[in-house]
Amino acid sequence: MVDKSEKVVWLARTGFATRGVVYVLLAYLALTTVRHDNVDDGASDAFAMVADVPAGWVVLYLAAAGLIGYALYRFSAAFFDIERKGSDAKGIAHRIGYLASACVHTGMAWTAAKFAGGAKGSGGDKSAQWAESALGYSLGSTVLSIVGLALAVAAVFQAKSAFTASFMKHVSARAPQATCWIGRAGHAARAVVFALIGWSLLRSAWFENSREVLSLGGVINDLRDTGNAFTLVAAGLLLFGIFSIIMARYRIIPDPLPSSR
């Protein structure tokens, strides 16, 4: 019989693998689409591509399940501190980041499930619509500001991880030797993406204009005119996908139910 600890580990590893596949597909789309074609909404475009292949709906349901598993793992890290970050200021910042990640991957899982169910019209960048809905409430600007700041903080942590390779303390010594440099490149690309999305949310809140909001796909489109910078970020996202797949096998998952002794 599988105990709760093993279930959490299984969810985490499945989630890492699924996240990796999504990032690889997204990077593939970014690097192979022609200059005047847009990547509308990042993960949605990747799911649309999968939906067009035979039995793609099966893959999409599996992807949705994997993303939900990863989201549950991050929710556990946020609320139950299974990553042992503590309750000081730095620990709380990490756990807020885990909560944001959980929410993002829950949304991705929902999108994958909709595509699996045949919702072909699910594509397109919905970020502006979601922001417009938020701005319709009295505290909408505040919420967008908080999310924007959270992503900005997450970008700083991603950049720090890229510089220090601190993520390697969570990686088994049996991982491939190239894991460190693959992870560094991937975290650096994610730092750029998180910073740009966070900044777009802060601009949206300040100007109360939902059109300021950028999705992951929107960031990729905005970077297209930067030439080599665009290629580096897209390649970095590809490497982050590969890194996530490596993590599915070699990530050290803390025991969510530590001994009381």
Which residues does residue 171 pair with via DSSP β-bridges, in sequence order? 251
pLDDT tens readout for residues 112-156: 888 888 765 544 555 555 666 666 666 778 888 888 888 888 888
Please report whether residue 38 resides in a domain.
yes
- Comparing 188 with 111, the larger pLDDT belongs to 188
Please report whether residue 148 resides in a domain.
yes
In the Cβ-directed half-sphere of 210, how many Cα atoms lie within 13 Å?
Answer: 14
Please report whether residue 53 resides in a domain.
yes
Domain that holds residue 70: 4-250
Residue 212 to residue 201: CA distance in whole angstroms: 7
pLDDT tens readout for residues 47-104: 777 777 777 888 888 888 888 888 888 888 888 888 888 888 888 888 887 887 787 7
Please report whether residue 69 resides in a domain.
yes
- Looking at the structure of the chain, the number of domains it has is 1
Position 260 confidence tier, pLDDT thresholds 50, 70, 90: very low
pLDDT tens readout for residues 169-204: 999 999 999 999 999 999 999 999 889 888 888 888
Residue 167 to residue 222: CA distance in whole angstroms: 29
Please report whether residue 203 resides in a domain.
yes
Please report whether residue 40 resides in a domain.
yes
Percent of the chain at pLDDT exceeding 90: 21
- Any idea what DSSP says for residue 175? S
pLDDT of 182 reads 97
Please report whether residue 259 resides in a domain.
no
Statement: the pTM of the whole predicted model exceeds 0.85? no
Residue 63 to residue 21: CA distance in whole angstroms: 9
Please report whether residue 27 resides in a domain.
yes
Q: Which residues contact 261 (CB under 8 A, 6 or more apart)?
A: none
